[in-house]
Structure formats: structure tokens, C-alpha cells
Amino acid sequence: MAPSKAVPTLEAADGYIAVPVRFSEEKAPHHCFYATQEHLDDTRPRNRTLFVINIPGYITEDALSEAFSSYGSVESVEILDKPGCRVGKPAKRSTHFNQKMSKGFKVAYIVFKKEFGIEKFSSALVISKEDNFIKAGIEKWISDYEASFIDVAALQAEIDKYMDKYDGKEKKVVIFGCFCNFLRNELRIPTMQLAISLEMLSFMFLLVIYCCTL
């Protein structure tokens, strides 16, 4: 007896619609997104925002934008770990020590340029195309494994760049300290008065540094 193939369920919760997903043009639907119009979040455009759940971790924002553009012009796409707003821009960190692996299913907010009706999203989506290929399965595993190795030359260049900035800051601190000592010892400015005038001194110090660079 041949093993049965898993078929994505088209049953969706109230208020949601099931969107069949095909990995490529040649494949049959193997998965379902569940989508609804976003009404609760005032930070996103009403009647133009689609809230989508059940998104595998390997799917990118670019791929989702490309796929849903078959329904209409897409303005923006956000993929998040859970419903809500994206809290500011993530701090810029080293790419060598901040490798975040995608785990579990995600949610997405897709904003279209024009208003839409939810019923239009019932046709199957193609999620991976020739011009926007998605790595999945063994290809995704190999890609993640190769990315886990640190590029020593790139890491050294990043460290050198950071140390150059750090050395520059240290030099400014030393110069500023000498400047304050000069004002206190040579010009006999009292320590209390010196502390009160710190903002003025900072401005003068920056002015001196600027003049030295001319």
C-alpha cells in the first residue's frame, strides 16, 4: 500500500481564509497560510494590511512580497516571531557573533498599495521562483552550516576598524583630561566651578579639535 501524501487543510478559523502554498510552479500545494484583514493594529493602514500566520522560518520577506504581488502591488512586508509591532531598528552588531537561526513558524504583516477584499486570496501561491529562489530542506541546512564558519579575514578587518575608532576616542579623552588639568592648575579655576562649566568646556574642547583639523 502506497504511503499517503499529506494534504494541507483548507479549513480556517472564523475570520481567516486558507491560502494554499506551492513551493514551485512544478509542485502541488503542500502547505497553507492563514490570512485575515488586520483591524486591531492602528499603526498599520486599515483595509490594506493582510495578517498572515503559519509561515515557515525559511521564507524571507522578499519571497513573501514576490508571492503576494500576484494579488496586487505590495507596499511592505514584515515577518515577526509573534503578532505586534516591530520595536525600532535592531542595533547594528557584528555579523560574526549574531547569527540568529530561524526557528518555528512566523507571522507576517503585508501592506498592499490599494484596498482589497479577503476573498481574493484563495488561489494558490508560488513561494519560490527562478528569480527569487528559496533554500529549503538539505540545501537550507548546508547553507546554514557553511555560514556558521567564521571568515577570519573579515573578522580581523572588523576588529581593526573597531580598534581604530576606540583608539580615536581614547585619544580625545586623554586630550580633554589634559585640557581640564590645564584650566584647573595653570589658570587656577576652582574644581567646583570647573564642574559647573563642563558643558562650556566640552564645547570649547570640540572647537579646539575642529580648529586643529583645519
Q: How far does the chain reach from its first CA to its final CA, in angstroms?
A: 84
88 pLDDT exceeds 60? no
Full strand arrangement of the beta sheet holding 106-112:
74-80, 106-112, 49-55, 31-37, 17-22, 125-126
pLDDT of residue 53: 92
Q: What is the grid cell recorded at 211?
A: 580648529
Strands 17-22 and 125-126 come out as parallel
CB atoms < 10 A from the CB of 145, how many?
A: 9
160 pLDDT exceeds 70? yes
Q: Which amino acid is at 29?
A: P
pLDDT of residue 80: 92
Most confident of the ranges 33-37, 182-186, 199-203: 33-37
| Range 4-8, long-range pairs (CB < 8 A, 24+ positions) | 6/30, 8/32
More confident residue, 201 or 159: 159
Q: Would you call 116 helix, strand, or coil by DSSP?
A: coil
More confident residue, 143 or 38: 38
When the pLDDT of each residue in the chain is averaged and rounded to a whole number, the result is 71
User: pLDDT band at residue 2, thresholds of 50, 70 and 90?
Assistant: very low
pLDDT tens per residue across span 20-31: 888 777 777 778
Measured in residues, the chain has a length of 214
More confident residue, 145 or 107: 107
Share of the chain above pLDDT 70, in %: 50
**Are the CB atoms for 108 and 64 separated by under 8 Å?**
yes
Give Cα 7 to chain centroid, integer Å: 32
